[in-house]
């Protein structure tokens, strides 16, 4: 019987299993989680012949190395990186057949932050609340990968009934400048008019302190117009919370479901995949847009 599994030889700085996440549980205190760059995750799944909601691996900066126990089709996308099979160069952003026992090496990101690895059949770790995603905040889902981890794989897709696969596909380049469209509110009135103007006109930079919970920024501190703290209230994906140091934090997939710092605005969901690929030091501009 074919051993549908894969061994992690090199886990990298932070590699997690991700899919579309577990939306709909915020009332229970469970974040959405899921891939930070959903279009990249869905594209590598298509390249590998998987449905768009199949679980993939999300690497962070340093890549990973994997050894399948049976022959598989693999696709690597997201942040550009070098890909090799047993030391021989292989294609990035295209399907690659990896023999049983061969070493697939996904190198460090050349640009961007997060690469995605899809394997034909998807990663068949046990789902929690309908998702196989690792949630770093709540601890739900599989642990971040470590060297020696064995990951089960789903059945090889039937070539007759599998999702249509593409041979190559264009992928957006990680941003040189991160432009985030933001709808002001609900707590922009907690800040001075000068602070709100600075938020939407001054340049920030991506901080190295960010993670899957939030993209932190460096730049002008936003001054509050009133003292005290808010009672905890619900938080949404893309909320821009301003902690006491005055530097905006953009909430990403593993964000808390409640918070007590004021939210000056909310970033449009369509702009968040680029935020997932913005390296520390990338210029950030918040552009105010009207509510739709």
Taking only the tens place, the pLDDT of each residue in 199-241 is: 999 999 999 999 999 999 999 999 999 988 899 999 999 999 9
- Mean pLDDT across 63-68: 98
Report how many domains make up the chain: 2
Question: Between residues 72 and 228, which one has the greater pLDDT?
Answer: 72
Q: Within this chain, do residues 90 and 42 fall inside the same structural domain, yes or no?
A: yes
The number of C-alpha atoms within 13 Å of 226 and in the hemisphere containing its C-beta is 9
The number of C-alpha atoms within 13 Å of 142 and in the hemisphere containing its C-beta is 26
Q: Within this chain, do residues 106 and 17 fall inside the same structural domain, yes or no?
A: yes
Q: pLDDT grade, residue 164 (50/70/90)?
A: low
What residue numbers bound the domain in which 38 lies?
A: 5-152
Q: Within this chain, do residues 31 and 136 fall inside the same structural domain, yes or no?
A: yes
Determine the Cα–Cα distance for residues 92 and 117; give it in Å rounded to an integer. Answer: 10
Cβ neighbours of residue 81 closer than 8 Å, sequence gap 6 or more: 63, 92, 106, 107, 108, 109, 110, 115
Q: Within this chain, do residues 189 and 78 fall inside the same structural domain, yes or no?
A: no
Q: Within this chain, do residues 10 and 145 fall inside the same structural domain, yes or no?
A: yes
Q: Would 168 be classed as within a structural domain? A: no
Q: Within this chain, do residues 16 and 129 fall inside the same structural domain, yes or no?
A: yes
Cα-based distances in Å from 291 to 201, 243, 263 = 19, 24, 15
Q: pLDDT grade, residue 98 (50/70/90)?
A: very high
Q: Would 59 be classed as within a structural domain? A: yes
Residue 63, judged by CB atoms within 10 A of its CB (0-12, 13-18, 19+), counts as buried
pTM of the prediction? 0.95
CATH number at residue 274: 2.40.100.10
Beta strands in 100-253 (DSSP E): 104-109, 115-119, 150-152, 178-184, 204-206, 214-218, 233-234, 239-241, 249-251
- Mean pLDDT across 243-247: 96
Q: pLDDT grade, residue 1 (50/70/90)?
A: very low
Q: Would 171 be classed as within a structural domain? A: no
**Residue in 108, 267, 282 with CA at minimum distance from that of residue 200:** 267
pLDDT of residue 160: 61
Measured distance between the N- and C-terminal CA atoms of the chain, rounded to whole angstroms: 55
- Mean pLDDT across 244-258: 97
């Amino acid at each position: 019987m074919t051993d549908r599994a894969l061994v992690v030889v090199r886990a990298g700085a932070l590699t997690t299993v991700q899919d579309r996440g577990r939306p709909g549980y915020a009332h229970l205190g469970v974040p959405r989680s899921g891939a930070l760059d959903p279009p990249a995750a869905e594209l590598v799944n298509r390249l590998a012949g998987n449905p768009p909601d199949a679980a993939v691996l999300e690497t962070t900066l340093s890549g990973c190395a994997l050894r399948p126990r049976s022959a598989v089709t693999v696709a690597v996308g997201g942040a550009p990186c070098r890909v090799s099979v047993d030391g021989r160069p292989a294609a990035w952003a295209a399907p690659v057949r990896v023999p049983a026992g061969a070493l697939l090496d996904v190198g460090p990101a050349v640009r961007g932050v997060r690469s995605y690895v899809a394997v034909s059949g998807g990663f068949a770790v046990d789902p929690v609340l309908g998702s196989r995603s690792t949630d770093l905040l709540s601890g739900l889902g599989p642990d971040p990968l470590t060297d020696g981890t064995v990951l089960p794989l789903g059945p090889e897709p039937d070539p007759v009934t599998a999702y249509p696969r593409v041979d190559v596909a264009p992928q957006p380049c990680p941003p040189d400048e991160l432009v985030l469209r933001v709808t002001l509110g609900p707590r922009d009135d907690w800040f001075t008019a000068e602070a709100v103007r600075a938020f939407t006109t001054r340049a920030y930079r991506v901080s190295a302190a960010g993670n899957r919970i939030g993209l932190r920024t460096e730049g002008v501190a936003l001054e509050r117009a009133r003292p005290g703290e808010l009672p905890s209230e619900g938080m949404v994906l893309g909320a821009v919370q301003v902690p006491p140091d005055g530097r905006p934090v953009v909430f990403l997939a593993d964000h808390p479901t409640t918070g007590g710092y004021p939210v000056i605005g909310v970033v449009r969901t369509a702009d968040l995949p680029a935020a997932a690929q913005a390296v520390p030091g990338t210029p950030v501009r918040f552009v105010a847009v009207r509510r739709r």
